[in-house]
Structure 1
């Protein structure tokens, strides 16, 4: 790990430790923790990690940013850090400067489409846009007669229907009704909605892997504290077996997510088979791990793990919510099958073995 990566990730982890303690946040019913956390993240330049300095960002590498997102997943933070990072990255593809403040991006579903009209306005509807209600600006990928464009839009000009995901975080419906963007520029050659979905999928995979690491840690700690029938439940073979399964799911998710992130960091071309295979495999495997791992963690905790007072749900529900962003595992499984089928049987083994 490079020295710069250590510094960036350690800075993020220190901020999360100081201002994003899960128990403190869980007990705060007013949401007063959000503003200090966002201010600290902004002062450290983390929300615009992937934006060059001349475009208003901090100019960190992809590797640095991926490390920050993994740490964010371990703390299950409920502020639009990942969304702002992705929005800044998307705008940077078209050399559009990023504004200050919270951002999100649209679309976040492969089936939604925003249209850039001939008069320069945007039309369309994007569902499940995370933190749209909290965002000041939205980075948009739009399709027009001349190809794909990237636009920056003032969120105040949009119709936003509030919604919630499983974790009670904003997951909103955003409607573009002939909205005039602040600016719009052509996307680079080869960059399309599929590329955005793959990048977003890897980001969510890293967050899921981070949350699973925390679920494992919380579950192991609890099993060594909880006593039943005059001995710690960690001594029971059934509990040991479940914890071993949870550790396996966590390790598999982390391996898949970090492998995909490393592939993108070293070869950020979304037209390559390697990026597609790694990103899709990560999203599918991490989504499966979120379901299996979350169930095991709650089973180890028993009834207490289901209470709103316990912090476990902060991790398990977010991990489950992140499965559906930027394409669900079922969507990507179908897309993977289509690509394999198109190549034919003779190309299957060489394609798999290349990874």
Structure 2
């Protein structure tokens, strides 16, 4: 890891440790922890990590930002840090300045479309938009009547937002654009489309899932060394040891897949290689989330299901993140289509090159 990346991640982890402790947040039913945390993140320039100074950001590298998201996953962060980073990155693709405050991106699902009408307004509906209710602005990928992609900055107050919650209890809202006038709109780069946005989002969510799995493993190992049953620690039972070994394996697999995808994007991999890495990471991390959550709760027994225990902050968010920016089943189908379109002879060289 480069020295600059170490500094960025250390800054993020210090803020998370001071202001996003899972047990403290779990006890704060009124959400008083959010404002101080977001203020500290903003002062450190983390929400606009992927935005150059020219467009109002801090100018961190893609690798730096991905490392921050992995750390955010380890704390099961429940503020729109990842979403604001993605929104800033999307706006930068079109040279649009990023405003201050919380942002999110739309669409976050491959099924949704937002279109540009002839009068310059936006129409469409985007479902499952993370933290839309909390956002001040949205970065929106738009299509015009000829199918050309554009990127727009939209004030959230001008949209109709129906609040919904994901498994982790965080906003996953439906945003309706009913002849909304964007604050700014510019053409997207040549070749940039919804898949480009979804792939970047998939890598972000994969890193967050991998981070949460690391914390699930730490919490479960610690608990197994504290909990006594039949006059000995449950970590001494072979069945528990076997489960913890499986949990460690799922965590390692998710981390390897997610970091490989992040390295591919940060290193400027080819389009096919980036697609393979991102799709594979989202598939593998999503599968790992399901298996790891089941094991972690089995190790904890009944106590792990209670609101008072912090385990659910990690397991439920990891499970919820599977659906954002394309589910594992969606990416499995799309990856199969991509491989089939390229032909059998191209598969092995592509896999071997990674």
| Fold shared per TM-score above 0.5 | yes
TM-score, normalized by length of structure 1?
0.98
Counterparts of 2:23 and 2:344, CA distance in 1: 52
Match of 2:8 in 1: 8
Deviation at 1:119, TM superposition (A): 1.6
Match of 1:148 in 2: 149
Counterparts of 1:191 and 1:120, CA distance in 2: 21
Match of 2:163 in 1: 162
- Between 252-261 and 111-120, the greater mean CA deviation after superposition: 111-120
Deviation at 1:268, TM superposition (A): 6.1
Counterparts of 1:75 and 1:339, CA distance in 2: 35
Deviation at 1:140, TM superposition (A): 0.1
Match of 1:239 in 2: 240
Match of 1:78 in 2: 78
2:198 is the alignment partner of 1:197 = yes
Match of 2:209 in 1: 208
> What RMSD over aligned residues (CA atoms) do the two structures have, in Å?
0.9
Match of 2:252 in 1: 251
Residue 302 of structure 1: SS of its match in structure 2?
A: helix
2:128 is the alignment partner of 1:128 = yes
Residue 66 of structure 1: SS of its match in structure 2?
A: helix
Q: Is the 8 A contact 2:133 2:161 kept in 1?
A: yes
Aligned residue pairs: how many?
353
Residue 78 of structure 1: SS of its match in structure 2?
A: coil
TM-score, normalized by length of structure 2?
0.98
Structure 1 runs of 4+ with >3 Å offset: none
Counterparts of 1:349 and 1:268, CA distance in 2: 17
Q: Is the 8 A contact 2:165 2:173 kept in 1?
A: yes
Match of 1:87 in 2: 87
Deviation at 1:340, TM superposition (A): 1.5
Q: Is the 8 A contact 2:223 2:300 kept in 1?
A: yes
Residue 179 of structure 2: SS of its match in structure 1?
A: strand
Cα deviation code 1:220-274 (max 9, x no counterpart): 00000000000000000000000000000000000000000000001066xx111
Residue 250 of structure 2: SS of its match in structure 1?
A: helix
Alignment of 1:44-59 (within 5 A): 44-59=44-59
2:49 is the alignment partner of 1:29 = no
Residue 288 of structure 2: SS of its match in structure 1?
A: helix
Counterparts of 1:345 and 1:139, CA distance in 2: 38
Q: Is the 8 A contact 2:19 2:37 kept in 1?
A: yes
Q: Is the 8 A contact 2:115 2:145 kept in 1?
A: no
Counterparts of 1:172 and 1:30, CA distance in 2: 20
Residue 309 of structure 1: SS of its match in structure 2?
A: coil
In structure 1, stretches of 5+ residues that fail to align are none
Match of 2:340 in 1: 341
Deviation at 1:279, TM superposition (A): 0.3
